[in-house]
């Protein structure tokens, strides 16, 4: 996940005059932890790029690690479907489509992937 996307997601939880981030959802905490675990730069560059103080970052990572220890998992994971390619051409229009199926939300990046899924599900 790009840091800009993560920064925008976190900005929805900013409040008050000081702009502190409060009440971050568990799903977003797990996303922050996943990005943090794959980050290869310095810690300072990470939290400054997403617009969080060092104390705020430590608090969020602590909560996320606790959630992970308790067995929480990230809600979305990519599933590859046999016979369907997930390549994106520059001329292809990319969109996000969500389908709720048996208490799961499935996201499709392209309309073609949704059509293939629906053909196989029928």
Q: Rounded to whole angstroms, what are the CA distances from 20 to 12, 67, 100, 111?
A: 11, 21, 33, 38
pLDDT in tens, 2-31: 788 888 888 888 887 777 888 888 888 988
For the chain, domain boundaries: 3-69, 76-122
The DSSP result for 1-64, as a single string, is --HHHHHHHHHTTEETTTTEE----HHHHHHHHHHHHH--S-HHHHHHHTT--HHHHHHHHHHH
Report DSSP state, residue 98.
E
- Residue 77, phi-psi category: left (phi > 0), alpha (psi -120 to 50), beta (remainder): beta
pLDDT in tens, 88-105: 554 444 455 666 666 666
Q: Does residue 114 or residue 1 have the better pLDDT?
A: 114
Asked if the model's pLDDT at residue 47 lies above 80, the reply is yes
pLDDT computed for residue 79 by the predictor: 61
pLDDT computed for residue 66 by the predictor: 92
Residue 120's pLDDT band, with cuts at 50, 70 and 90, is confident
Looking at residues 63-91, what average pLDDT do you find? 69
What CA–CA distance (Å, rounded) separates 49 from 40? 13
Asked if the model's pLDDT at residue 76 lies above 90, the reply is no
**Structure-token match 């675990």, residue found:** 37
């Amino acid at each position: 996940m790009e840091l800009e996307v993560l920064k925008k997601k976190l900005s929805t939880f900013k409040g008050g005059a000081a702009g502190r981030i409060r009440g971050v959802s568990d799903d977003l905490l797990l996303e922050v932890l996943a990005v943090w675990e794959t980050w290869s730069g310095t810690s300072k560059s990470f939290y400054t790029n997403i617009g969080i103080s060092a104390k705020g970052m430590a608090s969020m990572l602590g909560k996320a690690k606790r959630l992970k220890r308790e067995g929480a998992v990230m809600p979305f994971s990519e599933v590859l479907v046999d016979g369907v390619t997930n390549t994106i051409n520059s001329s292809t229009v990319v969109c996000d489509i969500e389908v709720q199926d048996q208490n799961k939300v499935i996201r499709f990046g392209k309309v073609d992937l949704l059509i293939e899924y629906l053909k196989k599900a029928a």
